[in-house]
């Protein structure tokens, strides 16, 4: 049942993104930004944790989980060190994911060629 719940949640998030992409003039960059903000907003409202408990890994795969991670890191930093801690904890917590994306993007750009 864990696999089904994960598939349904992740698939639903991706389906929403595809429907937005097909029916609007928004670019993938716009949709990515919207999903990051949505993940942070759902985390602020306490809804994202309910979704994460239901789907386990299914909610950590889409880009909405990055918004959730940004919100959690900023909130934790704010609680520990005030306003400045919000930014310092934000960068230290999410830098691993950002660095990994840059590194693997570079590696894959060396392996594969762009088609016209």
Q: Which of 71, 17, 14, 7 is nearest to 42 (CA)?
A: 71
φ, ψ for residue 109 (rounded to 5)?
-70, -25
User: What average pLDDT does the segment 29-55 reach?
Assistant: 93
The model's confidence at residue 42, banded by pLDDT at 50, 70 and 90, is very high
Question: Environment class of residue 55 by beta-carbon count within 10 Å: exposed (0-12), middle (13-18) or buried (19+)?
Answer: buried
Mean pLDDT of 5-25: 93
| Structure tokens given for 74 | 């900023």
Global pTM value: 0.80
pLDDT in tens, 18-39: 999 999 999 999 999 999 999 9
pLDDT (mean) for 78-95: 85
Longest dimension (CA), the chain: 50
CA 1 – CA 69 distance, rounded (Å): 26
């Amino acid at each position: 049942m864990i696999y089904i719940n994960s598939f349904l949640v992740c698939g639903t998030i991706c389906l929403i993104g595809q429907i937005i992409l097909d029916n609007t003039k928004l670019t993938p960059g716009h949709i990515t930004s919207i999903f990051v903000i949505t993940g942070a907003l759902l985390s602020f409202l306490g809804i994202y944790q309910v979704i994460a408990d239901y789907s386990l890994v299914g909610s950590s795969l889409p880009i909405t989980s990055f918004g959730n991670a940004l919100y959690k890191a900023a909130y934790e930093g704010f609680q520990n060190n005030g306003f400045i801690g919000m930014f310092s904890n934000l960068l230290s917590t999410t830098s691993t994911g950002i660095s990994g994306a840059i590194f693997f993007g570079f590696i894959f750009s060396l392996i594969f060629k762009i088609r016209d």
